[in-house]
Structure 1
Amino acid sequence: MTEVNPADRTAASTEPAGGRTNLARALTTRHIQFIALGTSIGTGLFMGSSGAIQLAGPAVLLAYLAAGIAVFMVMRALGEMALREPMAIGSISRYAHEYLSPQIGFMVGWLFIIELLVVAMADVTAFAAYLERWFPGVPLWVWIVAAIASVTLLNMVHVKVFGETEFWLSLIKVVAVIAMIVAGVAIMLFQFGMPAGETAGVHHLWEHGGFMPHGPMGVLLSLTIVVFAFGGIETLAVASMEAEDPERAVPRAINTIPWRILIFYLGSVGVLLCLAPWDSIDGSTSSFVQIFDTIGLPGAADVLNFIVISAAFSGLNAVTFSIGRMLHGLAELGDAPRSFARTSGRGTPVMAILMVAVAVSFVLVLNQLIPEDMFAAIASVASFAVVFTWLMFLLSHISMRRRIARGELEPGTFNSPAGMIGSICAAVFVLVLLVMLAIEPQSQMAVMVGGVTTVILLALGFVVRGMRGRRLANDSRCAD
């Protein structure tokens, strides 16, 4: 391949003083499969579904379906780019770096890290909040510190430890969601635990204002919440860089996305909407917990509380992994301090992982020190970043496919099914999402803050890449 500047590749492959930079390739196909499953089921599904349901009513199912198709196209685009050169250096920002420009790659990498940091903060806060249901006397900070320390240690030991942890946490979530769907269907069939005079059934999908009570605009606006539920699924692309056999594991994992969306999102939310009127879901707690509490199954609600605790911890674990590898990759590309590229003897980027723990802790402290409105503005960057980074991945894929069409590159081995047309359609969908974010009052701040952040990061990209270019030029002259 000719996409990466040879000078960049040479510099990126140079080991920093006092340490190695190679990551361990120890994730098996089983690990990759369940990381893909686990990233499909997070706090966005368990908690975010309430807000989306309030906006769209039962028609939120259409929003999940549309977003799921877009996610599949994004992941197929990422998969095609990743498998063109699975052993290449750098994080997933290298696709924008190679196919758009190094400055855009810098911006995408750091914007993605900001997004993941806010997601990590949400996950660790949710973890503590869910435990408060059982341990109301324990201060939340105790659980927060315990969660951050635990995931830091898990990620520092070896990538296989991360893989095994995610395997079991993902298995818990998968089994739980399937069991919840089965239990919900049983309740609909036999009306177990239903209050007197109330029945569960599909009639809830069109009663109480109709299937689309707030019209098409409600569905469009709900997409801004629904899409965030899929944020973090890119962890699969990050993890593929440490797979033992990426050519086999990555296609298998990505190709399961359609049925995962059908089961875990359309299936679980569809059953949820059939158990009680959609307008009874107030968002005060997880919609899944609220429904099972409402129909008189508190034991089941406690089980679901355990599941969302597992989901939050799994999300924090995966985000810590992703940010650590993103920092490592950015350092290899010259877009972050070189110390983040150093790895331990076990092949883990220790400095990068420690920085994640510090950053998440700092964001949590910041949450307590600054006004709530200001922090909401900072957190809103995550909503914007999820959508914007998808757009950059799709544009990178479109640029790559154009080079293939011009004969500049050879076709890959895992081509996106709809090719460049599919990515163009998905990019249009993402642009619609950005418009929805801009016109929805509750998310306008996300667009403003996210837009400013993007411009600042892009400007920094020009500065950093310019400084790096001058340094390499000086080194070359000195060598001559």
Structure 2
Amino acid sequence: MAQFAQALARGLTVRHIRFMALGSAIGTGLFYGSAAAIQAAGPAVLLAYAIGGAAVFLVMRALGEMAVRHPVSGSFGQYASRYLGPFAGFITGWTFAFEMAIVAIADVTAFGIYMGFWFPDVPRWIWILAVVCLIAALNLMRVKVFGETEFWLSIIKVAAIIAMIAGGAAIVVFGFGLPDAANPGLGTMLASGGFFANGFWGLLASFSIVMFAFGGIETIGITAGEAENPKKAIPAAINTVPVRILLFYVCTLGVLMMIFPWNQIDGETSPFVQIFDTLGIPAAAHILNAVVITAAISAINSDTFGAGRMMYGLAQQGHAPASFARISRHGVPWMTVATMTAVLLVGVVLNVLLPESLFLIIASIATFATVWVWLMILLSHIAMKREIARKKLPASEFGVPFWPVASYAALAFMVFVVVLLGIMPDTRVALIVGVAWIAVLFVAYHFGIKGKGHVRAELVDETGRDGETAQRGRTDRDTGTGAVRPEYIDG
């Protein structure tokens, strides 16, 4: 079935990566998770998305600078190894894979909930099992098929968001579908307690869901190893992040809360579907349900891709089983796809056992893993910048704006979010699970990886080159694993 190869097939174009970036910002966190965020903060959730989005943009610029300089598979897991040490790379790579696995379970859970809008009598796990099989098939095809799938799914999501903003604005102005006594606009948004309806504490409580919504956006960095021209594709995708956050989150949720009282959003289905169903606009709720289903499939597809490519990179460094570096005849790491499929099947079981409370628990745990990965990206970037200055290396072609103040501010914010997870009773389980996960990785590294004599990875500085990765690998003969492990060097 499979050939053994040392490199993934390069098949992702600028168009693919740009729309993957678009798609990563429109998923379960917006279409379903936003209900919990709105319930926690009220209209102030718009401020939470703006603040969180600004911090995420700085993380993405830090990742982008490293990805353009070192376009490799495994991305930030390898950057952490290079600039912070092998253990940092091990813990970062596996925590990202854990994040993607947890987010994928949340996404398949949301998919089952969406299908329940049309088929309330069909058990949720049946739909989840079906979508797991579909995603496995898509991810075993050539990476170009994955890119094309994400491209078209993202177009559907983007078009739907723009249509909702336009339609919502028309409802605010003309009152279509609203009762005569309705007061669309700021009157409806602020009617139930004002902007800070649940106080400052409510704003803080929303951050766990808000940051979950942005989770997975760092997958853009993973694509560098399969991009045809990473120096062009990565910056083009990352620079659209601020506009996407303002458009997809702040504008969209703002319009929704102007036409529907925020305190009546119940979270039983997507708030988008609930609102347009309540307004009685013919077929609008069904069209939106089809859109959110599309968004869920796209998100699960992207989660599986990101986790698989990270595990492939870990295998190259000797931080994962050598079988994860096996490449199929389509240029895809098929063992990692199989592993993620098994994880998603666990999600099927969890939805049978915990159908009501699963989403919030999973979202909180995913938030911890997400923020931890972002912390490691920022720390790796800071260490890289210090090395560039110390060794007087050429400046980066895609640097972080307002360095170093912006980077340290983003770092402080991420630490703040981790502390919040422990303070809030509903999300404290996320910190407990997160600390336990880090402890497991510590034990696994020190007893299973450290001291095995694995070869360092080779990370060539691409500054001033044509954008094609100069990554090379060789077999670790000392351990007998046969894994391809890049050795880092500065160009």
TM-score normalised by structure 1 residue count = 0.91
Is the 1:130–1:309 Cα contact (8 Å) retained in structure 2?
yes
User: 1 CA distance for matches of 2:387 and 2:278?
Assistant: 56
Q: CA deviation at 1:423?
A: 1.3
Q: CA deviation at 1:411?
A: 2.2
Matches within 5 A, 1:259-274: 259-274=243-258
Q: CA deviation at 1:469?
A: 2.1
Aligned to 2:69: 84
Give the alignment partner of residue 39 of structure 2, picking from 45, 54, 76.
54
Aligned to 1:10: none
Q: CA deviation at 1:431?
A: 1.1
Give the alignment partner of residue 204 of structure 2, picking from 189, 209, 220.
220
Matches within 5 A, 1:277-356: 277-297=261-281, 299-356=283-340
Give the 3 Å change call, closer, same or farther, for CA 89–213 of structure 1 in structure 2.
closer
| Secondary structure in structure 1 of the residue aligned to 2:61 | helix
User: 2 CA distance for matches of 1:174 and 1:211?
Assistant: 28
Q: Deviations over 1:401-451 (max 9, x none)?
A: 111222264322111112232211100011111121111110111111111
User: 2 CA distance for matches of 1:278 and 1:195?
Assistant: 17
Q: Percent identity of the aligned residues? A: 51
Q: CA deviation at 1:192?
A: 0.2
Is the 1:397–1:420 Cα contact (8 Å) retained in structure 2?
no
Q: Deviations over 1:167-205 (max 9, x none)?
A: 000000000000000000000111000023223212223
Aligned to 1:401: 385
Q: CA deviation at 1:371?
A: 11
Aligned to 1:11: none
| Secondary structure in structure 2 of the residue aligned to 1:331 | helix
Is the 1:119–1:382 Cα contact (8 Å) retained in structure 2?
yes
Give the 3 Å change call, closer, same or farther, for CA 323–89 of structure 1 in structure 2.
closer
Q: CA deviation at 1:317?
A: 0.6
Which aligned runs of 4 or more in structure 1 are off by greater than 3 angstroms? 88-91, 136-139, 366-380, 470-476
Give the alignment partner of residue 259 of structure 2, picking from 242, 252, 275.
275
How many pairs are equivalent? Answer: 459
Q: Deviations over 1:275-330 (max 9, x none)?
A: 12221112222111111122222521111111110011001111111111111111
Unaligned runs of 5+ in 2: 456-475, 481-491
Give the alignment partner of residue 27 of structure 2, picking from 19, 22, 42.
42
Aligned to 2:226: 242
User: 2 CA distance for matches of 1:37 and 1:374?
Assistant: 27
Matches within 5 A, 1:63-462: 63-86=48-71, 88-297=72-281, 299-366=283-350, 368=352, 380-407=364-391, 409-462=393-446
Pick the structure with more helix per residue: 1
User: 2 CA distance for matches of 1:303 and 1:349?
Assistant: 36
Q: CA deviation at 1:146?
A: 1.8
Unaligned runs of 5+ in 1: 1-16
Is the 2:189–2:260 Cα contact (8 Å) retained in structure 1?
no
User: 1 CA distance for matches of 2:170 and 2:350?
Assistant: 46
Is the 1:58–1:212 Cα contact (8 Å) retained in structure 2?
yes
Is the 2:113–2:269 Cα contact (8 Å) retained in structure 1?
no
Give the 3 Å change call, closer, same or farther, for CA 283–298 of structure 1 in structure 2.
farther
TM-score normalised by structure 2 residue count = 0.89
Is the 2:32–2:110 Cα contact (8 Å) retained in structure 1?
no
User: 2 CA distance for matches of 1:347 and 1:403?
Assistant: 34
User: 2 CA distance for matches of 1:329 and 1:368?
Assistant: 33
User: 1 CA distance for matches of 2:78 and 2:106?
Assistant: 27
